[in-house]
Every structure is written in C-alpha cells, then in structure tokens.
Amino acid sequence: MGPFPKFLRLNTLIISAFVLWGIAALVAAPWWVYALVLLMLLTIAYFGTTQIASNFHLPAYCKAVHSDKKEIAITFDDGVLNPIQSNLVLDILKQYEVPATFFCIGKNLASNEQIQVLKRMDAEGHIIGNHSFSHANLFDFFSSKRVVQEILDTDKLIQQHLNKQPLFFRPPYGITTPNIAKAMRQVEHQTIGWSLRSLDTVIKEENRLLKRVKKKLKKGSILLFHDHLEFLPRFLPLFLDYLLKEGYTVVGLDQLLQLQAYKKTQ
C-alpha cells in the first residue's frame, strides 16, 4: 500500500465523519447511515495505523526519493537477537561488498557478544538504526512520553558503543499512532518504513522467499529482513546473485533516501 492522499489524515477524517453525521441528522437518515460512516472511519484508521507507507499518522520514508535508478536498500530488524546468525549475515554482506542497515533493539544490545556484533556492523560500513528499546507487543499503546524514553534509551546505548547518535527510527511492527507521531516530532528522528516486506519470519525457506522478493522487487525498494533467522544465510547469496544478474545496485539507506543516518557531531 502506498501513501494515502494528502487530505486523508486523522483530523480531516474525524471532521468529515462529523460533517456526514450532521448531514445524516438533517435529512433524518436511517441508523445504518451513521453506522456506515463509522465503519468507513474505522477501516481507514485501521489501514493508516498498520500500513506505515500510508503516511496517515506521520511521514515515513518507505522507498527511494528518486526511483529512476536500479538502486535498492536492504534493512534487517530486531538485532542483535542472535549474534551467531548476525555474524553469518555480516560475512555474506562482506563477501558481496553490500551495505545494509540494521535496526537494533535496545534490550538486544546487552551481552558482550551482542555489542561485538554491533561494533562489527558499524566497522564494516553498515548503518545502525533505532528500533525501540523493548519492542513490546503493546508498543502502539504507549504514551508519547514512553515512546520518547524508549528511543532515547536505545540512542544512548548506540552512542555509548559507537560514539554515533542514530537518526533513523523504525517503529516496532511498522505500526504508527498519534503518540508515536508526537514522540517522533520531539526526538527529531526520521521514521523509516519499507516498501518490500519479505515476510521472512513467516516463509522461512530460501527458494520460496526468493520467489516472493523477485516478484515484488522494484527500483528504489527498501527491503525488510531479520538477521536472526536460521535460513537467511542460505537465502542471501541467492538473492545477491540475482541482484547482480539483473543489474541492481545495493546502496546505503542514507544514499537511497538522501538523508543523514547520524547526528552531526560538533
């Protein structure tokens, strides 16, 4: 799903619903007209909340600014959940000389092994993004204050180990809410989504995943994977060979979006 039209935002949606209910009251419409308006409102709000590319609650970067070149960016979420698997992924990226972005979770940057992987990602030229501290199931119900705290806590950890302050944030599950939008305005990070959700956590088999990704790949795509998955080191060489054959170049997310990945240090 792409972005909703610019006029379709939460406030305009609620105002339109009241206007429609007002008209319904004036013409003494039957009860189901009110229900229909409510159903439409809820449906649009549901898709706006669950589809990050809709830009319903906040603007999110989900594909290249200019998608005329055969360039794409690769992102991995939820690190560093499994340092052994992440190292295998890093080995392959190094072999193919391909840059990636890793959206790490604060609570997964605790052990020595996890920190070593974080440092290796950075040292090998990959970008580190913020993917919240807890990645809690109920993250989308958090207050804006709590969301801000989660982002700052993870920023602090990354800063402590890499001496860099990340500017890219990807909300857990790609869910956005008015509270997350408010928090993002406060911390002044860029919200990063994706245009191609690989569904690697569901598919879990390299050939089927390759088939899906091939079908959905476009110029300027931002792809979403998870580096902790056991089968991913078998998938990546197949995928990267395919990209080479088709003439695609993998670029950093900062280059694809023409944005700074880290805060400039004074």
Point out the catalytic residue in the list 135, 226, 228, 254. 226
Cα 253 from Cα 246, distance rounded (Å): 20
Selected from 49, 60, 61, 78, the binder of Zn ion by CB under 5 A is: 78
Residue 77 or residue 206: which is nearer to Zn ion going by CB?
77
The reply to whether 254 sits near Zn ion by the rule CB under 5 A is no
Closer to Zn ion at the Cβ: 63 or 131?
131
Cβ proximity to Zn ion, 172 vs 193, nearer residue: 172
Q: Does 77 bind Zn ion (CB under 5 A)?
A: yes
CA dihedral 8, 43, 175, 255 (to 10 degrees): -40
Report, in Å, the least distance between residue 170 CB and Zn ion. 7
Q: Catalytic: 161?
A: no
DSSP 195-250: SEE--HHHH--HHHHHHHHHHH--TTBEEEEETT-TTHHHHHHHHHHHHHHHT-EE
Closest alpha carbon to 187 in 158, 162, 157, 153 = 153
Closer to Zn ion by CB, 78 or 254: give it: 78
Task: Please tell me whether residue 189 adopts helix, strand or coil conformation.
Answer: coil
Residue 200 sits in the site that holds Zn ion (CB under 5 A): no
How many angstroms separate the CA atoms of 40 and 36, rounded?
Answer: 6
Using DSSP's 3-state secondary structure scheme, residue 185 falls into helix
Site for Zn ion in 116-145 (CB under 5 A): none
Residue 126 a catalytic site member = no
Tell me which stretch binds Zn ion (CB under 5 A): 122-130, 164-172, 211-219, 230-238. 164-172
Where along the sequence are the contacts to Zn ion (CB under 5 A)?
Answer: 77-78, 172
